[in-house]
Structure 1
Amino acid sequence: MAEATLTISSRNYSSWSLRGWLLCRMAGLDLAVEVLSGDPASRAELLHLTPSFLVPRLTHGAVRVWDVLAIAQYLTEVRPQAGLLPDDLATRSWSRSISGEMHGGFVNLRSALPMNLRARYTDFKLWGGAQADIARVVEIWQEALKAHGGPFLFGDRPVVADAMYAPVCTRFVTYGVALPPDCAAYRDRIMDWDLMRDWIAAAADEPEEIEELDMEF
């Protein structure tokens, strides 16, 4: 029996589920995954499991954690050896700051470019608010990559911030968003990450009728 269970929504559509799963795998948890569909019975079950009606939800022994940043904080405490945050205090603060910015911001990008791993669009029209959010993501990536040398945002290993921005990489692929060379290389590195490959393969096998409970679940 697995030591922990992660309750998620659709792998194809749920960016928050992807973030939570990446964090758990990066932390080395022996993890079972429970996928809830969008039918009313599953919604009721999720509401019972998670009072805030949010996924992902991590159950680890007697501990229940929901909200991705809460899961990230919990995992850094119980799995410090996993290195989910950079070693240096100032760099950890930087990583936490851009993770929080993704957690609470970029509403226009989320609305205009919802996650859909199966889809591919060409000549997708972006409105101004989404373009401003994309420009800010590019700024965040370039600053971190320049300071730490890549291939991940804070050096040679992925940390919480990379998990937070991984779904954005999938959106940029889905909607054909043009990026500067350094950001395109980072996007490709994330998409080629073994954990991302595992998630995308599982999403491809998911029944078409499974729907996201809400756009940003």
Structure 2
Amino acid sequence: MVYTLYIGNKRYSSWSMRPWVLLKALGISFDEKLHLFSSDLPKQRREFLTFSPSGKVPLLVDSETGAVVFDSLAIAEYIAEEFPAAWPKDKLARAFARSAAAEMHSSFSAVRNECSMNVALRIELGTPSEALQRDIDRLAELFTEGITKFGGPWLAGKEFSVADAFYAPIASRFKTFGVQLPGAAGEYIDRLYEHPAVQAWVEGGIVEPTLERLEEDSIRGRKVLKNLGE
């Protein structure tokens, strides 16, 4: 099989990061097609529609089957059909991992809205809003539950899974904004951030060109403590 993964900027695209990290972590070969976001959104959409039915990234193409798979969770499930190690073997761990991945896919809107993805910056968050604090507390609860129940070091046991790939952007966001989680949850976030696949993505994003509208969206008038790209 030959996979081609279409992605957006490593600096900004949390959705693209998930399947990219999953493929890298599992040692699955693929061709990467990077399509940088634009300041002209209608132009960006027209360009993305030339390869993606949704006009969005990520998108996986399997040249052997002809499958065109859009949406990060659908891509993860497609990969798992050929590589079952993408999910835990144990039924209970697999159920937890699927639940955790689905929750990330559909929830945590305050984290998405207030802590925009930017792998290259370190930003002073300030006092979190009530909504953001609820999301942070829920993430700490979820990570603690997974590590406690399945023994770690990953969210649903000994092996890296889809669930971990789905929370890789959270690890990056928390590093960007200095969010600290207590105990086992904090240790998990640190471990996830240091995973070689996550670090490879971050390193790629640091050297990418910046896009003013997305830089402003991540900073929002807050103090930039460090720019890793300088």
TM-score, normalised relative to structure 2: 0.85
Cα RMSD for the two superposed structures: 1.9
Separation in 2 of the partners of 1:134 and 1:147?
20
AA aligned to 1:13 is Y
Q: 1:186 to 1:45 in 2, by over 3 A?
A: same
Query: Residue 29 of structure 2 corresponds to which residue in structure 1?
Result: 30
Residue in structure 2 matched with residue 16 of structure 1 by the alignment: 15
**Structure 2 match to 1:71:** 75
Residues in 1 aligned to 2:25 and 2:82: alpha-carbon distance in whole angstroms: 12
- Which of 84, 96, 101 pairs up with 1:94? 96
- Cα offset, 1:45, TM superposition: 2.4
Q: Which residue of 1 aligns with 2:5?
A: 6
> In 1, are the aligned partners of 2:94 and 2:156 still within 8 Å (CA)?
no
The Cα shift of 1:116 comes to 0.8
Displacement of 1:189 after TM fit? 0.5
Residues 48-76 of structure 1 show CA distances to partners (whole Å, capped at 9, x for unaligned) of 32222221001111111111110111011
One-letter amino acid matched to 2:34: V
Give the Å deviation of 1:43.
2.7
Match of 2:47 among 32, 45, 48: 45
In 2, Cα distance between the equivalents of 1:15 and 1:153?
19
Structure 1 residues 210, 58: closer, same or farther in 2, change over 3 A? farther
Q: Which residue of 2 aligns with 1:165?
A: 167
Count of aligned residue pairs for this structure pair: 210
Q: Within 1, Cα distance between the matches of 2:212 and 2:33?
A: 13
SS in 2 for 1:5: strand
Q: Which residue of 1 aligns with 2:176?
A: 174
Once the two structures are aligned, what percentage of the paired residues are identical?
35
Name the CA distance, whole Å, in 2 between partners of 1:113 and 1:21: 21
SS of residue in 2 equivalent to 1:120: strand
Deviation at 1:170, TM superposition (A): 0.9
The AA in structure 2 aligned to 1:8 is I
Q: What SS does the corresponding residue of 1:49 show, helix, strand or coil?
A: coil
Unaligned runs of 5+ in 1: none
Letter of the structure 1 residue corresponding to residue 21 of structure 2: L
Secondary structure of the residue aligned to 1:167 is helix
> Contact 1:120/1:176 (CA < 8 Å) preserved in 2?
yes
CA distance in structure 2 between the partners assigned to 1:211 and 1:60 by the alignment: 33
Q: Counterpart in 2 of 1:154?
A: 156
- Correspondence 1:202 to 2:204: yes
Moved more, 28-37 or 104-113: 28-37
Code of the aligned partner of 1:10? N
* Superposed structure 1 runs of 4+ greater than 4 Å apart: none
